[in-house]
Amino acid sequence: MKYCSKCGAELPEKAGFCPKCGTPVQSAEVVYRRDSAAWNIGRVLALIFGGFMLLMAFGLLMGGGAILWTQTAVVDQNGYMLTKPAHLSVASYAIVQSGIDIQMDGDWMMNPSNRDIVSVKITATSNNGKPIFIGIASQQYAQNYLNNVNIDKLISYEWVPNRMMDDGAPTYQTIPGGSPSSSPSTQSFWISQSSGSGTQTITWTPSTGEYWVVVMNADGSKAIDVNAQVGARVTILKWIGWGMLIGGLVIALLGVIVIYFGAFRRP
């Protein structure tokens, strides 16, 4: 039962005015408002998608940062990443690294801007005071020159240090034979070569083919004892690192925006 707020008279049901004094009847309204803080499917999806973007950005930032770090911390003054020095010592006339098979797409090779993207560097230092020779040649020419010559083929060696295992000594396959017909530096088929006392260095831009790397004494004599290093320079690697770093920052920013505006910001 309702009563008039002014005169106290009893009010009929659904009356708009008091029948006695004419005062308008006041009705209580219940207003329902949606809680903007409630989690709905849209906010959940925004949180998941934004979190995935942040995770992807973290991977790109870590990868790009690692690449840029190696380009500044573990390369020499010419930009080559070199392996640790390897002690190579044999009693024969040559140490040979055979089976270097390079396969590159023809169209890629014909583009002049791509030819210097990857280059290889090899250094060797004599341990017995003898002048040494380093050379790279196609398999056919090197094989012809060293045919019937006593050589040692390098079968295996862990050039990159492995902290979990002992790197061990180099493994060779000894090929019996005699001495070379002439000293290596007199041959004209070498793609890249260097000989003399002290540390010798050669650089090479790979192309399609099969190659041998040969280390000898400069005079073609027996007993080779050197410390050798190999390395590579990839000129495009720095740009890849910067691209990953910038891409990671952009994706991280987009992820933060998605999470903030899609999941946490109230309308």
What pLDDT, in 10s, does the model give residues 92-138? 999 999 988 887 665 554 455 555 678 899 999 999 989 999 999 99
DSSP E strand boundaries for 139-223 = 151-156, 171-175, 192-196, 199-204, 209-217
Rounded distance between C-alpha atoms, residue 189 and residue 146, angstroms? 13
Q: What pLDDT is attached to residue 164?
A: 44
Q: Which domain holds residue 2?
A: 1-32
Confidence of residue 74 (pLDDT cuts 50, 70, 90): low
Shared-domain flag, residues 173 and 76: yes
The residue ranking higher by pLDDT, 82 or 135, is 135
Kindly state the average pLDDT of the residues 214-226: 95
Could you tell me which residues come within 8 angstroms of residue 232 by beta carbon, excluding any fewer than 6 positions away?
80, 81, 118, 119, 120, 121
Confidence of residue 52 (pLDDT cuts 50, 70, 90): very high
Shared-domain flag, residues 22 and 152: no
Hey, how many other C-beta atoms are within 10 angstroms of the C-beta on 207? 11
Kindly state the average pLDDT of the residues 84-97: 93
Q: What pLDDT is attached to residue 92?
A: 96
Rounded distance between C-alpha atoms, residue 219 and residue 8, angstroms? 128
Contact 193, 135 (CB under 8 A): yes
Q: Domain tally for the chain?
A: 3
Confidence of residue 76 (pLDDT cuts 50, 70, 90): confident
What's the chain's average pLDDT? 83
Shared-domain flag, residues 134 and 250: no
Rounded distance between C-alpha atoms, residue 24 and residue 5, angstroms? 9
Q: Model pTM?
A: 0.66
Q: What CATH number should be reported for the domain holding residue 196?
A: 2.60.120
Cα separation values, 156 from 129, 153, 159, 245, Å:
26, 9, 9, 36
Confidence of residue 28 (pLDDT cuts 50, 70, 90): low
CA angle 151, 154, 159 (to 5 degrees): 150
